[in-house]
Structure 1
Amino acid sequence: MYRYTLLLLCTFLLAVAHGQPVDKRATPETKALFRNLMRLSENHTLFGHQHATEYGRGWAGDADRSDVKSVTGSHPAIIGVDLSGFSGHAADVVAKNKADLKKNVEDTYNRGGVTTIAWHFNNPVSAGGFYWKDSVSKPAVKYLIPGGAAHEQYKGILKGIADWANSTRGKDGKQVPMIFRPYHEFDGGWFWWGAPHCTREEFVSLWRFTVGYLRDSLGVHNLLYAFSPDNRFNTEAEFLDRYPGDEWVDMVGMDNYGDMGRDGYRLDVASRKLKIVSDYAQRKGKLAAFTETGLESIPNTNWWNDVLLKVMRADGKRLSYVLVWRNDRTSPTHYYAPVPGHPSVPDFMKFYNDPYTLFEKDLKGIYK
């Protein structure tokens, strides 16, 4: 009887330990976002679009506008933004970028939507921007981690991010919860933080320091932390190759364009990889997401249901959200969500009306 009672107690304690943000001091609204995303993922997935309310095809800076809203009447449930303008620019430019993005995330929160943050971080120790450029870029990770030559500089950059995150406030006076997804697609070589340019130990050190410094030293308690490689894995062990540990990650995800039509349609492969992500999340009490995908220009007019929704719904996955990439303002081809009149609009409306997908208008009290 004693052993049975002890087993029940241990099971209960494990259940309590799972399903909580890694920041034990997270704001009540951030904890509520985590719990509600977990709950909603049992039967739904939130739809997201990168830079949706900042600009779209043929426009920029319009109030309360997105290409998705122009088609459906609702903004995406998830709005993707980027911290790329927070460093590597003149001080006045950085200040304006921070102010503009602060308003954007506050507006999203006030409408009841959710913000996810990417970080196309310009190389802080060399030229080349955030991409890796041979003979130009330096492998910056080893310089940024504790003991590295640029570690103090990196702490200053993180201080700027912390001050900005802590300054965000909704109309209710609360800090805005956000999903922070730094150093994404780290398994490829196109970014300076990619696998060919740092060791596994260096990457893990960078991740742990970033989360720990923001959370424990700078007092940022309104972020959830998302880990998302590209699609270059086939097993859970490969997916976790550079994983920093469960105590440093709230959400696991995957970016995958190649299997979703860019390099051919390998839907069974895409679904299997996403299932690895979802299964790990369920087992460990983490959130899971399809953190980036899409088909540039959407030439397949049935892509939304025959490809994306099919992959998302297969095999009992539980996904918090799916995010498609941006709609460039001027490019005739670089866009990932439809605008009025696009041939994929009828299929997108079918996707929008499916009870499985949630858009901003469908969200009720996600921070409560």
Structure 2
Amino acid sequence: MARLIGLLYGLAALANLTTAKPVCRDESTKYEAEDAVLSGTQILTAQSGFSGSGYVGGFDTGTDKITFTIPSSSAKLYDLSIRYAGIYGDKRTNVVLNGASTEVSLPATDSFATVSGGQILLNEGTNTLEIVSNWGWYLIDYILITPATKGGAHNINTNLPSSCTLTSAPIYGKKILSGQQDLSYANYVSSTTGKTPALVSSDLMDYSPSRVAHQGDVSHAVEEAITHHQRGGIVSILWHWNAPTGLYDTSENPWWSGFYTRATNFDIAATLANPQGTNYNLLIRDIDAIAYQLKRLQSAGVPVLWRPLHEAEGGWFWWGAKGSAPAKQLYHIMYERLTKVHGLNNLIWVWNSVAQDWYPGDEVVDIVSTDVYAQGNGPMSAQYNELVALGKDRKMVAAAEVGAAPRPDLLVAYGAHWLWFCTWGDSFIDNADWNSPAVLNEIYHHDYVLTLDEIQGWKNIGAAQL
């Protein structure tokens, strides 16, 4: 594992590179929402505290939006701030700049507040910025753009919680590892572009005991991970954890959807509150079953970028359904069980949330990551900046799942120094609305993007040489 970490730091640490989080100058321009072009939305005034003559609401269907026209005398990077009111709960919006989309979180509020929308790279001339419904049901007061400058140097910690000996070499910010979910779709990328992703992600979902009980042992995820490792690739592993028990198994929520909150009555908070209970024992049984599969990878010499309890803060998976405290407690239980009880030392622990109150702590996290599903092959700068802040720029950041692979020129322009991206499989990598063959070829043949052929030999190189 030290060699993989050495590679990642070799691919990831450049002491004199700057972070993407900018320092703002004083010149700012405000664009009132009520002056924008409205599509399916409306000007309102009932909520107090707004700027100008009103604000815009009515984001209640998927196509509802407001459109700002923003002129620029030159190509220039700006900070984007959005003043909004999230009076109907936590929401998300799509910010679409000149056709490239990024997702921005709008936390619940009682009144108007301001949230960062990441950066926007304005072209010389006229630019179009849209705020499109996404989760909908929020209020937009105005947007503010401010010229951005690059920040200070990265300060990445090269001593991971796994206590491996690490080295630092000049890569983070100069390159990004290409990645793909599932070996079959990595092969699709190969046939489409002539290049193979450096990283392949596999899912241990079908090793969940409650799935094995229904369908038997049918998964080949471990074998596929070993195959990619043997051809010189890097392996990432996630686990859509079918609930240990309490599956509804109805036509609306069949047993195989048991990782969803809607498909099970398994209560993680109640389970953790009763360590002597049957459900707690089943929870440990499941972790032990996955430990067996991870040991197979360890025996095969496969270092693993291990991403458990992914997307917890969304609440749509049962491990996040009861809030941050049970999710963090479960993460710590899993960490102790896998590392101390089972002695697994091939795992690099990847946390998968941008929210500060969900973060389980520096001592159990090696890399921070998030999943971004936004069309347009953009740089995902808002999420990048949130992760840099979450890890205090001491942790490398990864786009662990994306719907649209990022265009390298935008990553460079925005200074979004993702360590890797991993595009999801069916309906995304093979869907031209998300990733056209032309864009995939642009990405996979770009000097900024590392592919399988360009990382060969990393397993045989001492970490100190990387």
After TM superposition, the score normalised by the length of structure 2 is 0.57
Q: Which amino acid is 2:345 matched to?
A: H
Q: 1:243 to 1:316 in 2, by over 3 A?
A: same
Q: CA deviation at 1:219?
A: 0.5
Paired residue secondary structure (1:40): coil
Q: 1:294 to 1:146 in 2, by over 3 A?
A: same
Matching residue of 2:439: 347
Root-mean-square deviation (Å): 3.1
More RCO (CA 8 Å, sep 6+) = 1
Matching residue of 1:335: 428
Equivalent residues in 2 for 1:189-228 (5 A)? 189-194=315-320, 197-228=321-352
Instruction: Tell me the distance in 2 between the aligned counterparts of 1:190 and 1:122.
Output: 13
Instruction: Tell me the distance in 2 between the aligned counterparts of 1:69 and 1:359.
Output: 10
The answer as to whether partners of 2:201 and 2:225 remain within 8 angstroms in 1 is no
Q: What is the count of residue pairs matched by the alignment?
A: 295
Point out 4+ residue stretches in structure 1 off by more than 4 angstroms: 91-94, 265-268, 279-282
The answer as to whether partners of 1:112 and 1:364 remain within 8 angstroms in 2 is yes
Tell me whether 1:110 sits opposite 2:230 in the alignment.
yes
Matching residue of 1:42: 173
Gap runs ≥5 in structure 2:
1-153, 249-257, 462-466
Instruction: Tell me the distance in 1 between the aligned counterparts of 2:214 and 2:275.
Output: 31
- Structure number having the greater helix percentage: 1
The answer as to whether partners of 1:123 and 1:140 remain within 8 angstroms in 2 is no
Instruction: Tell me the distance in 2 between the aligned counterparts of 1:112 and 1:266.
Output: 27
Matching residue of 2:416: 317
The answer as to whether partners of 1:44 and 1:358 remain within 8 angstroms in 2 is yes
Equivalent residues in 2 for 1:237-256 (5 A)? 239-256=355-372
Q: CA deviation at 1:207?
A: 0.8
Q: 1:276 to 1:313 in 2, by over 3 A?
A: farther
Tell me whether 1:90 sits opposite 2:229 in the alignment.
no
Matching residue of 1:60: none
Instruction: Tell me the distance in 2 between the aligned counterparts of 1:198 and 1:48.
Output: 31
The answer as to whether partners of 1:166 and 1:175 remain within 8 angstroms in 2 is no
The answer as to whether partners of 2:206 and 2:218 remain within 8 angstroms in 1 is no
The answer as to whether partners of 1:142 and 1:198 remain within 8 angstroms in 2 is no
Instruction: Tell me the distance in 1 between the aligned counterparts of 2:431 and 2:378.
Output: 22
Equivalent residues in 2 for 1:1-368 (5 A)? 18-24=157-163, 39-51=170-182, 53=183, 55-56=184-185, 66-87=187-208, 88-90=210-212, 95-97=217-219, 100-128=220-248, 129-133=258-262, 136-144=264-272, 147=275, 149=277, 150-168=279-297, 175-194=301-320, 197-229=321-353, 239-257=355-373, 260-261=374-375, 270-278=380-388, 280-281=390-391, 283-284=393-394, 286-295=395-404, 308-309=407-408, 312-327=411-426, 334-337=427-430, 344-367=436-459, 368=461
Instruction: Tell me the distance in 2 between the aligned counterparts of 1:125 and 1:137.
Output: 8
Q: 1:278 to 1:360 in 2, by over 3 A?
A: farther
Gap runs ≥5 in structure 1:
1-14, 57-64, 234-238, 296-303, 328-333
Tell me the percent identity. Answer: 23
Q: Which has the larger radius of gyration?
A: 2
Q: CA deviation at 1:325?
A: 0.6
- Structure number having the greater strand percentage: 2
Q: Which amino acid is 1:335 matched to?
A: F
Q: CA deviation at 1:244?
A: 0.7
